[in-house]
Amino acid sequence: MSGKNSRIVLILTVTLGVTLACGLFAPATPQPAATLDSLYTAAAQTLNAMSTQAGVTQPVEPSSPTPTLFVPTNSPTSFPTFTLVPPLQTITKCDAAAFVADVTYPDGSVIGRGQTFTKTWRVKNVGTCAWTTAYDLVFVSGEKFGASNVVALPTGVAPGRSVDISIQLTSPTQDGRYRGYWKLRNASDVLFGFGSSGESSIYVDVTVAGYTVTGYDLAANLCDAVWRNAEKQLPCPGAQGSTDGFAVLMNAPQMEDGAVRGIGLLTHPQMINHGAITGKYAAINIQSGDRFRALIGCLYQANDCNMIFKLEYQIGSDPVKLLGQWNEIYEGKYYPVDIDLNFLSGKKVRFILTILANGSSHEDYGLWVMPRITKQSSQPPTATPTRTLSPTVTATPTSTFTATPTSTATATATATETSTETPTETPTTVP
């Protein structure tokens, strides 16, 4: 700074100090308006000068920005870093499965009553762990169709591979739509299902519908059985009225109420107190859904009948077992017999029909009407039992009559008349 300038500053400083000093000690009297205006004007000029000087002497340093305080009013681009983006990979599980296809019996398939069938699913391992044969398919709810609760996987399945799983099932014996649900289970006995949640099940879904048909008719096949009383084997067909007892086929027997309901097997025990007659049939194969059906009762007008009907069975050389037993007297009624044979499915079974006299055997004419093993079929029967079996009824007495010598013609004629008699004449043979 030059000397001239220094002197000017000094003078101004001294002047200012004197002015202030005088102002501090001057009496507090109102200032004239002109004086105030000049002071205001000076003050405004001073502030303006200071503002101008500050703008010149304090520039914003470009190298020292304050980013935390800088908020742009516009953005030339979007903000992708703030957009929610789904994960690039799905979350994987150790045990996970996906349903692929119904290989057999798709949903709603129609099958017969009591029919055995094999359901097969194709499933895929979509987890990260391999399935071993220690993994199972497990029943969880619905209709089980007679299957086991657990079916082991047939083979190991690596991740990403598929496998066909099959189970043996048997349809119900009643018509309707049925469904059964299944899940998988790992080697640690932990269940897991299908789909993204792992909670879904695969299922069997079938419609059961069909017809009841006669699989084996015990009346028509009368002589497939060996007939005996307590002492000896009896001829077949028997001779009605024989004191040894007898079993004969009747095309249209009248039951206790006088009505005809189909062909019948007429059996009478040996004519002694507590006499008996038993017919043991040849072995037949029993399938799932089979039933034994018959109507039992006394022959029409056999007023003194009082007997026991017994139905038994035998498998091979096993002991004979009872299926049912019914006491019957003459009271104008008959009784239906309907026994489920599913527990014998897959076995060769001999059925045994027995009539026992309750005391006296007088008028113990026991009728088994339409005794048969019924089966379920998806096809209706092609013919009624009456049409199918009528030729058998006619042929039986003819062959017996021609084969019998003349000396016994009277007895054989009686048998012939019994086989072809009309129901109204039958009671005349009752002693």
Report the alpha-carbon distance of residue 5 to residue 11 in Å, rounded: 10
Flag whether pLDDT at 248 surpasses 90.
yes
* CATH no., domain 97-209: 2.60.40.10
SS3 of residue 326 by DSSP: strand
Q: Tell me: the pLDDT tens digits for 308-360? A: 999 999 999 999 999 999 999 999 999 999 998 989 999 999 999 999 999 99
> What pLDDT, on the 0 to 100 scale, is given for residue 161?
96
Q: 292 near 341, Cβ under 8 Å? A: yes
Residue 93 identity (one-letter amino acid)? K
What was the pLDDT predicted at 18? 47
Q: What is the distance between the alpha carbons of residues 126 and 159, in angstroms, rounded to a whole number?
A: 6
Share of the chain above pLDDT 70, in %: 67
CA distance 266 to 300: 11
- State the pLDDT confidence band at 12, using cuts at 50, 70 and 90: low
Select from 311, 268, 319 the least CA-distant residue to 293: 311
- In this predicted model, what pLDDT tens digit does every residue of 119-175 receive, in sequence order? 999 999 999 999 999 999 999 999 999 999 999 999 999 999 999 999 999 888 788
pLDDT of residue 90: 55
Q: Whole-angstrom Cα distance, residue 102 to residue 164? A: 9
**What is the structure's pLDDT at 110?**
83
DSSP symbols for 218-282? TTTTGGGEEEE-SSSB--SS--TT-TT-EEEEESS-B-TTS-B-S-EEEEE--SSTT-EEEEEEP
Confidence of residue 387 (pLDDT cuts 50, 70, 90): very low
Bridging pattern class, strands 109-111 and 202-208: parallel
Q: Is 400 helix (H, G, I), strand (E, B) or coil?
A: helix
**Is residue 396 within a helix (H) or strand (E), and if so which, with residue range?**
helix 385-403
Buried b (16+ CB within 10 A) or exposed e, 159-179: eeeebebebebbbbbeeeebe
Higher model confidence: residue 39 or residue 305?
A: 305
Of 305 and 50, which is predicted with more confidence?
Answer: 305
Is 80 exceeded by the pLDDT of residue 39? no
Tell whether the model's pLDDT for residue 400 goes beyond 80: no
Of 184-198, 256-270, 382-396, 404-418, where does mean pLDDT reach its minimum? 404-418
* 180 or 56, higher pLDDT: 180
3-class state of residue 35 by DSSP: helix
pLDDT of residue 256: 94
Assigned architecture for domain 217-420: Sandwich (2.60)
Q: Which of 57-71, 323-337, 396-410 has the highest mean pLDDT?
A: 323-337
Q: Residue 40 — pLDDT band, cuts 50, 70, 90?
A: very low
Answer whether residue 33 shows pLDDT above 90. no
The letter for the amino acid at 247 is A
CB 380 within 8 A of CB 221: no
Please state, in angstroms and as integers, the Cα–Cα distance from residue 246 to each residue in 132, 315, 326, 398, following that order. Answer: 64, 25, 20, 18
The pTM score is 0.49
- Tell me whether residue 377 is exposed, middle or buried, using C-beta atoms within 10 angstroms of its C-beta: 0 to 12, 13 to 18, 19 or more: middle
The token pair at 204 is: 């069997």
79-88, 146-155, 169-178, 292-301: segment of lowest average pLDDT: 79-88
The mean predicted confidence, pLDDT, of the chain is 77
Summarize the confidence of residues 388-395 as an average pLDDT: 33
Looking at the chain, the whole-number percentage of residues with pLDDT higher than 90 is 57
pLDDT value, residue 1: 53
Looking at the predicted structure, is the pLDDT value of residue 396 above 60?
no
> Averaged over 273-280, what is the pLDDT?
97
Burial track 184-220 (b if 16+ CB lie within 10 A, e otherwise): bbbeeeeebbbeeebeebbbbbbebebebebbbbbbb
Do you find a cis peptide bond into 237, omega within 30 degrees of 0? yes
**Beta strand segments in 42-103, E:** 97-102
Q: Provide the residue ranges of all domains of the chain, joining segments of one domain with +.
A: 97-209, 217-420
